[in-house]
Structure 1
Amino acid sequence: MKGQVFAIKFIHREISHKHGLSDDDIGREVLLHRQCSGHPNVISVLHFGTDSNWLFVAMELASGGDLFDKIEPDIGVDEQVAHFFFKQMINAVEFCHQKGVAHRDIKPENILLDEHGNLKLADFGLAAVFKRKNGSRRSCSTPCGSPPYMAPEIVSGKYDPALTDIWSCGVVLFVMLTGETPWDEPTKNDYLFYDFLKNDGKVNHSPWNRFSPLILSLLRMMLKLQVDKRSSMDKIRAHPWVNRDNNFSTPDGMCKDTYLLTSKLFEKLHIGLGDEEHKLASSNDKYGSLESQFTASQPVADIAAMLDDQESFHLPATQQEFTEYDREVMKNSLTTERESIFNVISKDPAMLQFASDKTKLEKSALVLHNAERLTRFFSILPIETLIPILLSSLNRSGISTAGFHYDNITEHNLKSHPIQISVVTVDRRKMYLRGSIKVSRTPGLKLKTVEFVKTKGDPLEWRRFFKQITVQSREAVYIDQ
């Protein structure tokens, strides 16, 4: 591992024990993940160890970040892009199944990208052995997974975890193509799922009616309500939509041209800052506020978040936006440094979602190791003006910031450390959503990064949250025009 960049997951043993996880449970996750690490589309376990307080796991770094951070909500991605990632996902899942391991938590949060644009399946915390060495299969009975992605039989009792993985892959394909989940949970309480159930999967309303007949037939094979009729991995592979060639893929299924893939992946990303978009963002449903407070330097109180906080302090300022706020004053004050600012933002992939003319961006903006997180924007406003704008947008979206006092926050404070807003809320599906908004400054410039860092929750829903707050804060966003 010498000279290699990798990710480390720390697990505090005592805290885990308090939440009902034994050392054996933690060790089982590591061993099953290691057992499945021999595939190029599965995050590799490189090393692990323990002491009296901590267990740590060193893993391959997926420097491209969340795949679903780069998918536009309610829009999805190009069909060829979805096809490329779908084939890589089922390659990874099939490899795990061949090892006798079912993942049991296939969802956007656990689907990452490496720097070359290849999909990486991650997080084996709920994985289970379903096939014994003698070839016999065992069922599972523990309910687990994220409701929008879990198969309906998981709620009922015993289930075949390999077949529930196939169901989850079908839902993920649906989300890639549409930018939304088909339902919130696979029960009769959900009217969209109930409609799917009573029509035996033959629904023709939006977004189902957007699919080609080939895609629709594949989805219906994977989302069969009758478990014994649900498609096997062999039948999925033989399906004509799955089996066709892909322009982004090498013969062995890896990314052939990272720049070409990234260009197509980012093509549909867009954040509009006009009056219509602002009106829509202001009228959207409010988020449920569980907890929200500012901390100037204190990291979020879990291990993953602490690691994320330390890492992101080293990120360059990255996003941008520009509205009418004191426009003439801003233009005059930026005359001498505008070129320097443009040199920063033109290399940043997050700029793509705001740019009306993407050709002005440098090719380096499409390098995936710079695109771990696209939920950020740039601002040139003074911090004393920027913070109230963000607070107001959060409050208008139903998230309380009453516990934060920003009277003493100045530009001078920002030079020494970023300012952080911790947000704990629920998304529109009432699923847990947790993260922070960090404001940092580019050394030597007035340019600031406002970065939305997710630590828990669906990346597609986090992007939806980011878009809503960003559009409501449009007077703070800088875009070079």
Structure 2
Amino acid sequence: MVQPPSSQVAPLPSNLPFRIVSRTIGQGAYAFIRKACPFNANRPVIAIKFINKRHAFETGKLNRKQLAMELALHNHLGKHQNIIHYLSSGEDVAWTWIAMELADGGDLFDKIEADAGVSEDVAHFYFTQLISAVSYMHSKGVAHRDIKPENILLSGDGDLKLADFGLAALFHKDGQVRKCNTVCGSPPYIAPEILSSKRSAKRSDILDESAGYMGNISDVWSCGIVLFVLLVGNTPWDEPTRQSYEFCEFLKTEGHTTDELWEKIPPAAMSLLRGMLKISPESRFSLDGIRTHPWFTQPNNYLSSSGTLANQIGLATQMFESLRIDLTAELTPSQRQRQAATAGDDSMDIDTDTNNRISATQPETPSAEITFDWERPARLAAHEGFSASQPTFTCFSHANIPPSTMDRLADDPALSQFSATPQVPISLTQAARQFRDILPAPTLARFLSPLPLSLLLPLIVEALHRLGVPARADEKYDGEAFVHVKTKDERGQGLSGTVVCEQFDESMVEVRFLKAKGDPLEWRRFFKKVVRLCKDGVLVPG
């Protein structure tokens, strides 16, 4: 894949103790991730996070001390089955690199339907694993301080992996407990005591010396919001301040809000949530209180005695069949009317007042500075040996598909989400051995189109303009084109990435929405909006 001429990427270190075996599989504002393995073997495959120090220190909001702290605390954590393992690190003049365990199941929340969530048993399973990870961190004296869907990944077996320790802090050492004073995290998931405490007169993202909060207790609040999102597919508010109508009602009713989103939550889970979302940190459930709550201790057929996923194919199938994009549905806001002006002339102005007051691990950088060498998803039918003898898709609207292409598409999970009743292809079920065989790591925010690039690109750009997102298609490079996206999600938070249009074969184009920054559930919601506006160019099962 040829990089666009605007890309300004320093050469990677030449003395790496492993060999890089992939293009980019994940990306932030100033870092990207690729796969690697030993020089003399094909296993194990690990993830390497490359941090561009010039971007991070000069353009971003990261400093050398923070980066050193991230490396030290991640290494300090050691190994836990629900935490991304730190392996090693190094640097040269331009880059710092971190070798980590590969989360080869991708993003958990990329596989959850926006405004729908998952079933109670699936939510219970992943919440149990999240609490296991956070409990272990706290036992090591470390608070995460940035628990949100963006930092929750999956192994190839479907087990949860907590990631990104750029905002982690040591709150307990040598018997001494210390409060945190950095205002950090993502507003929808941040604890209210962090935002309501008195700020330093010198820096708005630092609390006054007389203030402070316990990082471990604030983690409990964030875990509660994640549980809510698992069950509902949306956050309960934009931020826990009086600027939010939903949060004000939550305060006024002491957790017995009449908001329709809360009506989806089962009574036992509601009891747990109210305990975790106590406004006063002193009254909030501890991790012991969570682990002994009746909803938490209920049996779960997906949970093995060792805390791992007991039925990989069953859970993956259940989640797979919950993903659906109805192209006939009206383009409407999500279940909650969020900040109405996600569109307009200011939609490129990502740094809102809230964002300026909060430290983030992935600050925005100009899109021209972002590397663009993405790994293309392997085709299951073509590359992994799955049988396509029983193709699910026997006909399509919009196009006559050659038989050879039909076979390649038979096991592609991205196509099923456009069906009236999504189902795992029989051939895929029969051949699947792992969670990732049903729900692969590459994003499901993609579609195929029978339109040529010359017609498809203007359609996508027009759809983005209708959503109030300034966009233009870059020139084509070797049969592909791309559109950089930088906007706000429905909660007013930064959302950025790239729409890649690549020739799939002579009959169609593949369109992938690759997120660089932002909540994966919000990115899926954004993807669905664009797809509905481009529906005349989307290939769907028929």
- Normalising by the smaller structure, the TM-score range is 0.7 to 0.9
Distance 2:474 2:171 in 1: 53
After superposition, give the CA deviation of every residue in 1:179-228 in whole Å (9 maximum; x if it has no partner): 01010000011110011112222224312122222111100110011111
Answering whether residue 383 of structure 2 is matched by residue 312 of structure 1, we say no
Contact 1:273 1:471 in 2 (8 A): yes
Alpha-carbon offset, residue 480 of structure 1: 3.3
Change (3 A) 1:380 1:300: same
After superposition, give the CA deviation of every residue in 1:99-150 in whole Å (9 maximum; x if it has no partner): 00000000000001111100010000000000012x2211011100000000
Alpha-carbon offset, residue 55 of structure 1: 0.8
> What code does the residue aligned with 1:251 have?
S
Secondary structure of 1:172's match? helix
In structure 2, what is the equivalent of residue 348 of structure 1? 412
- In structure 2, runs of 5+ residues without a counterpart are 1-36, 198-211, 351-365, 382-392
Answering whether residue 299 of structure 2 is matched by residue 273 of structure 1, we say no
In structure 1, what is the equivalent of residue 139 of structure 2? 98
Contact 1:418 1:441 in 2 (8 A): yes
Contact 1:317 1:378 in 2 (8 A): no
Change (3 A) 1:314 1:271: closer
Map residues 417-456 of structure 1 onto 2, 5 A cutoff: 417-443=479-505, 445-456=506-517
Contact 1:224 1:230 in 2 (8 A): yes
Answering whether residue 86 of structure 2 is matched by residue 28 of structure 1, we say no
After superposition, give the CA deviation of every residue in 1:369-390 in whole Å (9 maximum; x if it has no partner): 6243110011121111211211
After superposition, give the CA deviation of every residue in 1:145-168 in whole Å (9 maximum; x if it has no partner): 000000000013311110000000
Secondary structure of 2:297's match? coil
Distance 2:226 2:367 in 1: 29
> What code does the residue aligned with 2:163 have?
A
In structure 2, what is the equivalent of residue 156 of structure 1? 196
> What is the TM-score with the length of structure 2 in the denominator?
0.78
Point out the structure with the larger helix share: 1
Distance 1:52 1:462 in 2: 34
In structure 2, what is the equivalent of residue 398 of structure 1? 468
Secondary structure of 2:415's match? helix
> What code does the residue aligned with 2:464 have?
L
Which among 120, 129, 136 is matched to residue 176 of structure 2? 136
Distance 1:20 1:405 in 2: 28
Alpha-carbon offset, residue 286 of structure 1: 6.6
Distance 1:123 1:345 in 2: 34
Aligned length: 448
Change (3 A) 1:273 1:420: same
Change (3 A) 1:301 1:32: farther
Distance 2:130 2:246 in 1: 26
After superposition, give the CA deviation of every residue in 1:323-370 in whole Å (9 maximum; x if it has no partner): 96xx4xx33xx3xx1x22222222122223112352545326861562
% identical aligned pairs: 41
Change (3 A) 1:405 1:167: closer
Secondary structure of 2:485's match? strand
In structure 1, what is the equivalent of residue 521 of structure 2? 460
- In structure 1, runs of 5+ residues without a counterpart are 293-298
Contact 1:37 1:43 in 2 (8 A): no
Alpha-carbon offset, residue 61 of structure 1: 1.3
Secondary structure of 1:370's match? coil
Distance 2:439 2:528 in 1: 22
Distance 1:396 1:34 in 2: 46
> What code does the residue aligned with 1:442 have?
F
Change (3 A) 1:269 1:21: closer
Alpha-carbon offset, residue 317 of structure 1: 10
> What is the TM-score with the length of structure 1 in the denominator?
0.87
